[in-house]
Amino acid sequence: MLPRRQALPRQGPGAVRGHHGPRPAAPLRGEEVMLRDPAFDRVFAAAVEVMRPYLGDIICIGGCANALYRHHGVMVRVPNPAAYVVQKVLIRDQRRKIESRAKDCYYMYEVSVVFRDNLAALGREYDGLHDLPAPWMKRFAKGIRTLFRDEHAEGATSALDVHEGSGIDGPRLSAGVIQRAVAKMLDAMGVS
């Protein structure tokens, strides 16, 4: 579920004030209090303007510019799913909390499930990442293959832990199911 947002008047084109609903991946903690404060709106608008040059990170390479859709009257940029997976692996070294790393593994599994019927398109999106530095791509390939090399690897087991702790209803998962789903995605992407 995406948050609803509205533009702030006279604050610049990128400024937004969030009217946040529930977000399963990132629950609100104190944010709702800050959003009621007009001073926060001005600070947030200024921060967005300062960060504008940095907002085009690697998850928007390739398919992001064309992947727009309307949600509650607002145009939403949809990141390139292959670049999203690459980014999750590359930022693992920067993540200190085990919980964050585990969620990243679960999100990688979710991408493999969401695109399971369209893995060829996911492979094309990955092929479009050829502009990324070669050392990054080598690090990605080695990292994700290590994370999901078998059902006992860190990626599969930590993704399973996140799923079991989330209370999500649905078919029972196992680390083996998670590992095989991600392996199919990686094969479609041509990651060796």
Instruction: Please tell me the predicted confidence (pLDDT) of residue 68.
Output: 44
162 and 102 Cβ atoms separated by less than 8 Å: yes
Averaged pLDDT for residues 108-117:
90
The predicted-structure confidence for 58-75, as pLDDT tens digits, reads as follows 444 444 444 444 545 555
Query: Where along the chain do its domains lie?
Result: 4-55, 81-189
C-alpha 120/C-alpha 146 separation (Å) is: 23
11 φ/ψ angles, rounded to the nearest 5 degrees: -115, 5
Supply the Cα-derived Rg of the chain in whole angstroms: 18
The predicted-structure confidence for 134-170, as pLDDT tens digits, reads as follows 999 999 999 999 999 999 999 999 999 999 988 777 7
Instruction: Please tell me the predicted confidence (pLDDT) of residue 115.
Output: 86
Instruction: Please tell me the predicted confidence (pLDDT) of residue 80.
Output: 84
The encoded tokens of residue 152 equal: 């006992």
